[in-house]
Structure 1
Amino acid sequence: MQLGNLPVSPADAGYRIAYHLNEANHCPGCGRSHWLVGRLTAECAYCATALPIRTGQMSGTGLFRTRVPFVPLAA
């Protein structure tokens, strides 16, 4: 895999903490497990640590775009 001119290896990316839906999630900041879950992130209700939500799939209204041909305006 390549990103721009830099080679990128998923194995070199390191450990990334994420919120997993339908699982017990403990906050890496305080260890508690009460979360305020949004569309893209989940925030700990006690210490406000925010984590990205890991769902394994993508969803949303902007996921698929149709390509509309460009039609110039007549001058």
Structure 2
Amino acid sequence: MSIDPQGPVLVEGPVEVVLEDGTVARSERFMVAICTCRRSRTYPWCDTSHRPREKPSPGDQVSDARAPSPVRATEQDRSCA
């Protein structure tokens, strides 16, 4: 087991966690990150919500490499069958 004071508790799986309300959360993964900050949307599993987020500055531009590619519908996508 590994404990990061700024992040989750890493536990070798499979894991069962008994929550405060008595429900049991299960994971069959070989390594499980258990949330300790309680910010996770997938609590008790860590979703990296503990990491600081930086907002881009107003003058920052997104390069073409990071920009999402346009999605084009094909005739097959438009068919109802």
Q: TM-score interval w.r.t. the shorter chain?
A: under 0.3
TM-score, normalised to structure 2's length? 0.20
